[in-house]
Amino acid sequence: MSEVDIAKFKHVARAQDNRGVEFGKSITFENNREGFELFVSWFQKISTEHGFQEVIVGMEPTGHYWLNLAHFLRDKQVTYGVVNPLHVKKSKELDDNSPTKNDIKDAKVIAQLVKDGRYAIPSLPQGIYAELREAMKIREHLTTDQCVVKARVHNWLDRYFPEFLTVFKDWECKSAIQMLSLYLLPHELFTSRMKPYFST
């Protein structure tokens, strides 16, 4: 069993058996193909020396940084699983009553979760299915951003131009957008309207 604490540039891994007995020292490897090759050679050597038949790599899915390693392990036909980041955070305090973050400590916590079976096998779609999943994520982000922007506009209108929606039924219609594009508050709009009458 090998556990990896994922980071942007460098990962930290530890190896232990299903009883929690640790083997060798932890290893730090780069988040690239050369680093992944080093990592696989490291745990394969330990597995051979101690006569282990199966190896599972556990990791915390930090951001998107774990995906490269996951795809590499899949291509190498190495079993891997991910643990819930919330479980990692809560489990840290069980060992030393401290929630502080440490890469080596995190790798050990991940190891304990995997040993207890508290992990999941992620689905990594390929080809058109991977593109569809990415498109769905992008659409979800755009929809969320759009809702945030709309909420801000409503907030601004309620605070600075409360009469606006009594004149326009919808602030997204062309005429309303044209009015808003003037960037004028009600008193400024009134002043600019009256100026021609008093210009002489």
Q: Where are the domains of the chain?
A: 2-115, 128-198
CATH class of 2-115: alpha beta
φ/ψ (deg, to 5) at 22: -90, 145
CB neighbours (10 Å) of residue 192? 11
User: Among 36-50, 52-66, 93-107, 129-143, where is mean pLDDT lowest?
Assistant: 93-107
- C-beta separation of 55 from 79 below 8 A: yes
Per-residue pLDDT at 104 exceeds 60: yes
**What is the residue type of 138?**
I
Any alpha helices (H) in the chain, and if so which ranges?
33-50, 67-75, 85-96, 103-115, 128-160, 164-167, 174-180, 186-198
Q: Confidence band (pLDDT; 50, 70, 90) for 195? A: low
pTM, full prediction: 0.61
The pLDDT value given to residue 144: 94
pLDDT digits (tens, 9 = 90+) for 39-95: 999 988 988 888 888 888 888 887 888 888 999 999 889 888 888 777 777 776 666
Q: Confidence band (pLDDT; 50, 70, 90) for 97? A: low
Question: What value does the mean pLDDT take over residues 111-119?
Answer: 79
What's the half-sphere exposure (Cβ side, CA atoms, 13 Å) at 198?
A: 6
